[in-house]
């Protein structure tokens, strides 16, 4: 009976933590006037993109490239060089420090996250 009581109390504590987490506002949100992404083909353009997780360590420094719709691209590099970060930025799990990312000419900061992801 004692272990059941402890498990029940721990479950209640865990539920409280879960509900607090659900109330947190995301750092990356839609603009008030965000519109759904309109895909015309899927051209992707990174234009002078800068990003760092920590101010003292740049991950991307002026990255610029275009991927035409329907084409495949391989991104290669050493561990920590920014390969995964490029995808995280494309899906707006993070915002760039500066520069633009566009899909079919639409800045990803101006479209809804639901339509982007």
CATH superfamily to which 1-117 belongs: P-loop containing nucleotide triphosphate hydrolases (3.40.50.300)
pLDDT tens string 4-59: 888 998 998 899 888 888 887 778 899 999 999 999 999 999 999 999 999 889 99
In the chain, domain spans:
1-117
pTM score, two decimals?
0.77
Contacts (Cβ under 8 Å, ≥6 apart) of 82: 51, 59, 60, 63
pLDDT tens string 53-112: 998 899 999 999 999 999 999 999 999 899 999 999 999 999 999 999 999 999 999 999
Calculate Rg over the CA atoms of the chain.
Answer: 20
């Amino acid at each position: 009976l004692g272990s059941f009581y402890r498990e029940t109390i721990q479950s209640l504590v865990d539920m409280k933590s879960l509900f607090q987490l659900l109330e947190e506002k995301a750092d990356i949100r839609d603009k008030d006037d965000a519109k759904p992404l309109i895909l015309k083909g899927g051209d992707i353009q990174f234009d002078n993109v800068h990003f760092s997780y920590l101010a003292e360590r740049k991950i991307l420094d002026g990255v610029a490239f275009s991927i035409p719709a329907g084409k495949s691209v391989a991104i290669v590099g050493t561990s920590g060089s920014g390969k995964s970060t490029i995808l995280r930025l494309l899906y707006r799990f993070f915002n760039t420090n500066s520069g633009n990312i566009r899909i079919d000419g639409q800045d990803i900061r101006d479209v809804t996250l639901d339509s982007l992801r």
